Amino acid sequence: MFDRETDDGYFVHTEALSQQAAALQQAWADKKRYENITFFDPAKIMAAFSSAEIEPALNDISAQATIYKIVLAYTYFGIYYLIIPYEGNKRTKYYLYDLKTQRQVVDTGRIADGEYSKMSKMSIHDALQTGIGELAKLKHAEFIKEIVTAHTPTTSPTPTPLPKKPHLAFLYPDPIDEPLGYSHSLLKGFQKFDVEIDFLYLSEKNLTELDDKYNYLFIFTKIVKNQLCIENDNLTKQFVSIADFFEEMLWIDDNIIKGLFIFTSQPIDFSEVVTDKKPIANFVCAPHELDKMMKRIPHALFQKQQLNENKYCHQCLNIASNSLEKFDKAVHPVKINELKTALPEFIDRKAVQHHFVGREIDQ
Residues 171 and 274 grouped into a single domain? yes
Q: Which pLDDT score, from 0 to 100, does residue 214 have? A: 87
Say whether pLDDT at 219 is over 60: yes
- 248 vs 348, more confident: 248
Say whether pLDDT at 324 is over 80: yes
CB atoms within 10 A of CB 10: 9
Q: Is residue 6 part of a domain?
A: no
Residues 96 and 229 grouped into a single domain? no
- 156 vs 282, more confident: 282
Residues 211 and 255 grouped into a single domain? yes
Which of 87-96, 250-259, 314-323 shows the lowest mean pLDDT across its residues?
87-96
Residues 247 and 324 grouped into a single domain? yes
**What confidence category does residue 221 fall into, taking pLDDT thresholds of 50, 70 and 90?**
very high
Residue 100: give the domain boundaries.
Answer: 49-143
- Which sign, positive or negative, has the C-alpha torsion 103, 107, 113, 115? positive
**What confidence category does residue 45 fall into, taking pLDDT thresholds of 50, 70 and 90?**
confident
pLDDT digits (tens, 9 = 90+) for 260-292: 999 999 999 988 887 777 899 999 999 999 999
Q: Is residue 190 part of a domain?
A: yes
Q: Which pLDDT score, from 0 to 100, does residue 136 have? A: 63
| CATH number for 256 | 3.40.50
Residues 139 and 179 grouped into a single domain? no
Number of domains in the chain: 2
CA–CA separation, 198 vs 169, rounded Å? 5
- The pLDDT of 224-241, averaged and rounded, is 91
Q: What is the DSSP letter of 203?
A: B
Say whether pLDDT at 62 is over 80: no
Which residues touch 47 (CB under 8 Å, ≥6 apart)?
none
User: pLDDT above 90 covers what percent of the chain?
Assistant: 20
CA 347 vs CA 35, 122, 174, 316, 341: distances in Å: 55, 29, 20, 41, 13
**What confidence category does residue 150 fall into, taking pLDDT thresholds of 50, 70 and 90?**
very low
In 3D space, the residue among 188, 230, 185, 178 whose CA is nearest the CA of residue 205 turns out to be 230
Query: What's the half-sphere exposure (Cβ side, CA atoms, 13 Å) at 154?
Result: 0
Q: Which pLDDT score, from 0 to 100, does residue 204 have? A: 85
Q: Is residue 148 part of a domain?
A: no
Which of 129-133, 185-189, 265-269, 272-276 shows the lowest mean pLDDT across its residues?
129-133
**Which residue, 127, 143, 159, sits at the end of a domain?**
143
Q: Is residue 114 part of a domain?
A: yes
Residues 119 and 202 grouped into a single domain? no
Q: What is the pLDDT of the chain when averaged over all its residues? A: 75
Residues 189 and 242 grouped into a single domain? yes
pLDDT digits (tens, 9 = 90+) for 110-126: 655 555 455 456 677 77
- The pLDDT of 181-186, averaged and rounded, is 88
Q: Is residue 27 part of a domain?
A: no
Q: Is residue 281 part of a domain?
A: yes
Please name every residue paired with 146 in a beta bridge, in sequence order, or none if there are none. none
Q: DSSP for 67-87?
A: EEEEEEEEETTEEEEEEEE--
Residue 219 near residue 260, CB atoms below 8 Å: yes
- 287 vs 137, more confident: 287
User: Which helix (H) or strand (E) covers residue 91, if one does?
Assistant: none
Residues 288 and 333 grouped into a single domain? yes
Q: Is residue 32 part of a domain?
A: no
Which of 40-54, 226-240, 264-278 shows the lowest mean pLDDT across its residues?
40-54
Q: E strands along the chain, which residues?
A: 8-12, 36-40, 67-75, 78-85, 93-98, 103-104, 142-143, 167-172, 196-201, 216-220, 223-224, 227-231, 237-241, 259-264, 280-284, 313-317, 336-338
Q: Which pLDDT score, from 0 to 100, does residue 358 have? A: 56
Residues 190 and 339 grouped into a single domain? yes
pLDDT digits (tens, 9 = 90+) for 69-114: 777 777 766 777 777 776 554 556 777 777 777 677 776 666 555 5
- The pLDDT of 15-25, averaged and rounded, is 62
Say whether pLDDT at 224 is over 90: yes
Q: Is residue 182 part of a domain?
A: yes
* Sheet hosting strand 216-220, strand order edge to edge: 313-317, 280-284, 259-264, 216-220, 167-172, 196-201, 336-338
Residues 294 and 174 grouped into a single domain? yes
Parallel, antiparallel, or unpaired for β 280-284 and 259-264? parallel
Residues 207 and 123 grouped into a single domain? no
Residues 246 and 283 grouped into a single domain? yes
Residue 242 near residue 270, CB atoms below 8 Å: yes
CA–CA separation, 96 vs 75, rounded Å? 13
Q: Which pLDDT score, from 0 to 100, does residue 58 have? A: 61
